[in-house]
Amino acid sequence: MSASLELIRQQEAQLLVSTYDRVPVLFERGEGVHLFDCDGRRYVDFLSGIGVNALGHGHPAISAAITAQAGRLIHVSNLFYHEHQARLAAKLAALSGLDRAFFCNSGTEAWECALKLARAYARSAKKNGAKPKAKLLVMDNSFHGRTLGSLATTGNKKYRAPFAPMLPGVTFVRFNDVADLEAKFDDSVCAIGLETVQGEGGVLPASREFLTRARVLTRESGALLLLDEIQCGLGRTGAMFAYQHYGVTPDVVTVAKPLAAGLPLGAVLATHDVAAAFKPGMHGTTFGGGPLACAAAIAFLGELAKPEMLEHIRETGAYFKEQLLALKARHAEIVDVRGMGLMLAAELRSAEQAKSTVAAALTRGGDGYVINRTHDTVLRFLPPYIIAREHVDGLIAVLDDLLSGGNANA
Where on the chain is the footprint of ligand PLP (CB under 6 A)?
106-108, 111, 143-145, 195, 199-200, 228, 230-231, 256-257
CB of 28 to ligand PLP, least distance (A): 24
CB of 92 to ligand PLP, least distance (A): 17
For residues 46 and 68, give the distance between their C-alpha atoms in angstroms, rounded to a whole number.
29
Burial 238-272 (b: 16+ CB within 10 A, else e): bbbbbbbbbebbbbbbbbbbbbbbbbbbbbbbbbe
Closer to ligand PLP by Cβ: residue 199 or 289:
199
The residue type at 167? L
Residue 356: its H or E element = helix 351-363
Closer to ligand PLP by Cβ: residue 199 or 262:
199
Closer to ligand PLP by Cβ: residue 256 or 327:
256
In a 10 Å sphere around its CB, with 0-12 CB exposed, 13-18 middle and 19+ buried, how is residue 40 labelled? exposed
CB of 108 to ligand PLP, least distance (A): 3
The answer to whether the beta carbons of residues 321 and 392 sit under 8 Å apart is: no
Closer to ligand PLP by Cβ: residue 228 or 303:
228
CB of 42 to ligand PLP, least distance (A): 27
Name the β-bridge partners of 193. Answer: 226
- When CB distances to ligand PLP are compared, the closest residue is 107
Closer to ligand PLP by Cβ: residue 122 or 260:
260
For residues 220 and 179, give the distance between their C-alpha atoms in angstroms, rounded to a whole number.
17
Phi/psi of residue 398, nearest 5 degrees: -65, -45
Closer to ligand PLP by Cβ: residue 36 or 159:
159
Please report, for residues 226, 243, 252, the alpha-carbon distance to residue 197 in angstroms, rounded to integers and kept in the order given.
13, 9, 16
CB of 407 to ligand PLP, least distance (A): 32
CB of 333 to ligand PLP, least distance (A): 26
Closer to ligand PLP by Cβ: residue 225 or 399:
225
CB of 258 to ligand PLP, least distance (A): 11
The answer to whether the beta carbons of residues 382 and 339 sit under 8 Å apart is: no
